[in-house]
Amino acid sequence: MNGLERVTRPLMWLMALLLAALVAGCGGGAGGGAPILGLPGVVSFAVTPATATIPVTGVQQYKAIATYSDGSSRDVTATSVWSSGTAAVATVVPTTGLATGVSSGISVITATLGGRTATANLTVSAATSTSFKITPTSAIIPVSGTQQFAAIQTFSDGTTIDRTTTALWSTSGASAANATVGAATGLATGVTVTPAGTPVIVNATFGALVATPATLIVNAATSVSFVVKPTTASVPVSGIQQFAAIQTFSDGTTFDRTTTSAWSTGGASAANATVGAATGLATGVTVTPAGVPVIINATFGALVATPANLTVNAATSVSFVVKPTTASVPLNGTQQFAAIQTFSDGTTFDRTTTSAWTSVNVPAGGPVVATLSVNGPGGGLATGTAVGTSSINATFGALVATPATLTVTAATVTSVSVTPPAASIVVGATQQYTALAILSDGSSSDVTLNPGTTWASASPLVAANPVAGLATGLTAGTANITASFGGKTSPAAGAILTVTAVNTGPVTPAPNLKTAAPFGIMAWDAMTINLGSHIYGDVALPGGVIASVVGTGGVNDGGVAPNLTSSAVTNSAGVTPGQINATNNGTLTPAQLTQVQADLNAAFLDLNTRVAPVTPLTTIASAANVPGGTFAAATDLSGYVLSPGLYTCACTYGLSSASGPLVLDAKGNPNAIFVIRSSLVGPSGLTSTTGSVVLQGGAQAKNVFWVMDNVTVGASTFFQGTVLAGHVITLNGFAIVQGRMLAGALGLVSGAITLTGTNIVTVPQ
């Protein structure tokens, strides 16, 4: 052996030993072996949830969490090996931890990682299936329109399971070929128009279970636009912008084609940004040259969307911080952290779900103070596991966030409270509850989402046992909702949920505005729009004279009304293009304008012929929790809280701020309809001063309808809903509308609208 060999051979052996040690150390970090060369080793290994109950055929997703000697934790579900102690009771997928109930009993679910094991107890109850239904039970779509159906199984203990992605879907009936449905998705697509009275039957089966079917009608509406929204956007390098592809049909329906479109970038700056081919999520790569934006394209089959422009600006990252910067929780308490990046132009981006999270004891050593939930969706949720202090860290690519500090105290739980104490929803709607743990040191902790919190419904056939505090109404009745945490349970009568039957009275279904739906303002024969007004929607003047709307009549904002510039008729989400349409101006033909007027008239007559409840409404108290009624005399709606329903009077409504706003409460039903009607002919049906309309309980402006002959909205009023007026609408100065102002529904002389100045009208989506 020469001198060189005497030197190099020991070095080679040493390098080999070091490499082997590194490999072993990495294995120890993931599999539970002792740490090598300073690498962290696993100090604890746990399965969550520790206990769970499901019915036969029900499923439970388990997670395996490894905690390391440096205080960090990691979700190792996918790298663990899963098994069920009693396969006759429950099975579990060995690679994912998804358990399925087979028969009633108890089985121990085990996860193995390296040389470590962890267990959880799974109880399979004797609950039986009580129903298997497709929702919605009926739907209407145009050709190429889509409808997502769901297959929901309900059990005798009140639990429900969504079988949509595990059911087998099909169409049947004489019109089966008029639509398709994804065999494994439940997503239906219109193919051809269904014959009158012969809908497509949509079916779902899950094993031997056959769901109550749904019906689907494919109508003759045609596509009128397909647009990428927003039309313009600007992001910094690494900034993100979610684009949407929206298709609008002639009946006013819109479909979000974002996830079913093919996305791409184009133009001279195409390489300056990327866009998810199936998501529409764009990311800035490099700064775009001045005046040369990235073109964002979307196609849906043969449809090519009107593209959007994306500018990547030169803003730089100025901070990346974990928030809140400090927090304190008791043992087993939870704290949701967020990772926020801020740029020099003031824009911020939430990197919580795209960051990698770790927790490290401060100082190092001792029991692990806090564990963090899986990275990605749900990331950043810390759980206190030992008394002490932990540093909460997040990284996004090469960015390292300024960490936060979490202190875990020795406080114990003395009581648990659930809010709200009283709530009311309709069947099928949901109610979110909050659980608050009161601690021995006088502080409190929100344990709504804590894995150690157990939610229960005393009447599971009325309301299902809440999941993370979210209760679902199943049948009419009342249920006491409780939460247990840290050995304490909230009072049995502390939170009472009332579930009522869905209102199927004269207020439903919602009126179909059809071709009138995209319009922010309409008038029959005259339109006055004073300086400063802004319309987020289209403008129509079907019977107006040439002098009422003047301009060159170009496509997309080409027209100019008096004191209304073309840029003031503005694109809004789902409302495009912003057009001024009259017989000599805009893109609609006279025949199309006539159809718009006819559709408005049909909706106006529909709402005027519906029969309202005769319940007399004389005071604010008398109108509480009733599904509509009749006002006997002129009424200021200030301070009223109205439930979904049809309200009528042969009078003039007022809307002031004397007793507060008018509140429309949907009681958890986002599809709830409100109709407020006056049968007066001639005088104004609504004359407001400075008032406001507030929506709560899931109510939406698109589902609120005001039906009157004449309407005056007072100065500085915040108004919500669609006004269908037989004759005249007046908006006084600074009146703001989330809705539509559609005048001249009767198509007669004096079907005018006046915007007196600085009015904003936004078509609701």
DSSP 635-694: EE-TT-EE-SEEEEESS-EEE-SBTB-EEEE-TT-TT--EEEEE--SSS-SEEESS-BEE
Residue whose structure tokens are 């409808």? 147
Please say whether the beta carbons of 255 and 262 come within 8 A: no
pLDDT at 173: 94
- The pLDDT-based confidence of 360 (bands split at 50, 70, 90) is very high
Rounded-to-10 torsion of CA 125, 131, 135, 139? 170
Choices 1.10.10.10, 1.10.3210.10, 3.40.50.2300, 2.60.40.1080: CATH for 413-500? 2.60.40.1080
How far apart CA 701 and CA 365 sit, in angstroms, is: 56
pLDDT at 724: 97
How far apart CA 729 and CA 727 sit, in angstroms, is: 7
- The pLDDT-based confidence of 519 (bands split at 50, 70, 90) is confident
Q: If DSSP codes are grouped into helix, strand and coil, which group holds residue 126?
A: coil
> pLDDT tens, 633-683?
899 999 999 999 999 999 999 999 888 899 999 888 888 899 999 988 888
pLDDT at 374: 64
Of 728, 693, 723, 730, the closest CA to residue 707 belongs to 723
How far apart CA 629 and CA 613 sit, in angstroms, is: 5
Of 153, 73, 66, the closest CA to residue 115 belongs to 66
pLDDT at 544: 59
| Count of CA atoms in the C-beta half-sphere (13 A) of 651 | 16
Please say whether the beta carbons of 133 and 211 come within 8 A: yes
CATH class of 129-219: mainly beta
Please say whether the beta carbons of 721 and 694 come within 8 A: no
- Residue 30's φ and ψ, nearest 5 degrees, are -95, -25
Q: If DSSP codes are grouped into helix, strand and coil, which group holds residue 156?
A: coil
Q: Could you tell me what percent of the chain has a pLDDT over 90? A: 42
7: CB partners within 8 A, 6+ apart? none
Please say whether the beta carbons of 57 and 100 come within 8 A: yes
Q: Is the pTM of this model over 0.75?
A: no
Residue 29, pLDDT above cutoff 90:
no
Please say whether the beta carbons of 431 and 457 come within 8 A: no
How far apart CA 159 and CA 466 sit, in angstroms, is: 9
- Edge-to-edge strands of the sheet including 129-135? 129-135, 150-155, 160-162
pLDDT at 475: 79
pLDDT at 94: 94
Q: If DSSP codes are grouped into helix, strand and coil, which group holds residue 177?
A: helix
> pLDDT tens, 375-423?
666 789 888 889 999 999 999 988 999 999 999 998 888 999 999 998 8
Q: Which CATH architecture has domain 317-409?
A: Sandwich (2.60)
- The pLDDT-based confidence of 20 (bands split at 50, 70, 90) is very low
Of 136, 149, 105, 141, the closest CA to residue 123 belongs to 105
Residue 23 DSSP class: H
Q: Which residue has the higher pLDDT, 179 or 372?
A: 179
- The pLDDT-based confidence of 32 (bands split at 50, 70, 90) is very low
Residue 584, pLDDT above cutoff 70:
no
> pLDDT tens, 739-760?
999 999 988 777 888 888 778 8
- Within 126-237, strands assigned E span 129-135, 138-142, 146-148, 150-155, 160-162, 168-172, 179-181, 187-190, 200-206, 209-210, 214-219, 223-229, 232-236
Please provide the average confidence, as pLDDT, over all residues in the chain.
83
Residue 571, pLDDT above cutoff 50:
no
Choices 2.60.40.10, 3.30.420.40, 3.40.50.300, 1.10.10.10: CATH for 223-312? 2.60.40.10
Topology of domain 44-125 in CATH is Immunoglobulin-like (2.60.40)
- The pLDDT-based confidence of 506 (bands split at 50, 70, 90) is low
How far apart CA 13 and CA 17 sit, in angstroms, is: 6
Residue 560, pLDDT above cutoff 50:
no
Residue 574, pLDDT above cutoff 60:
no
| Region of 299 on the Ramachandran plot (φ > 0 left; ψ -120 to 50 alpha; else beta) | beta
Q: Which residue has the higher pLDDT, 568 or 714?
A: 714
- Beta strand pairing call for 146-148 and 187-190: antiparallel
Residue 107, pLDDT above cutoff 90:
yes
> pLDDT tens, 589-626?
667 777 888 889 889 988 988 888 888 898 998 888 88
Q: How far is CA 373 from the centre of its chain?
A: 23
Q: Which of 268-282, 515-529, 649-663, 708-722 has the lowest mean pLDDT?
A: 515-529
How far apart CA 236 and CA 732 sit, in angstroms, is: 41
pLDDT at 40: 55
| Count of CA atoms in the C-beta half-sphere (13 A) of 520 | 31
Ranges of CATH 2.60.40.10 domains, the chain? 129-219, 223-312
Could you give the C-alpha distances from 603 to 158, 600, 736, in angstroms and in order? 40, 5, 24
* Residues facing residue 599 across a β-bridge: none
How far apart CA 743 and CA 526 sit, in angstroms, is: 10
- Mean pLDDT computed over 722-748: 92
How far apart CA 298 and CA 306 sit, in angstroms, is: 8
Residue 15, pLDDT above cutoff 60:
no
Q: Which of 102-106, 227-231, 479-483, 524-528 has the lowest mean pLDDT?
A: 524-528
Residue whose structure tokens are 């073309």? 566
Please say whether the beta carbons of 581 and 548 come within 8 A: no
Please say whether the beta carbons of 614 and 632 come within 8 A: no
Q: Which residue has the higher pLDDT, 691 or 750?
A: 691
Residue 587, pLDDT above cutoff 80:
no
Residue 44, pLDDT above cutoff 60:
yes
Cis peptide before 40 (omega within 30 of 0): no
Q: Which residue has the higher pLDDT, 254 or 337?
A: 337
pLDDT at 375: 67
Could you give the C-alpha distances from 40 to 65, 68, 70, 391, in angstroms and in order? 15, 6, 6, 16
> pLDDT tens, 418-461?
999 988 877 777 788 999 999 998 888 888 887 778 898 988 87
Q: Give the helix/strand (H/E) hosting 27.
A: helix 3-31
Ranges of CATH 2.60.40.1080 domains, the chain? 44-125, 317-409, 413-500
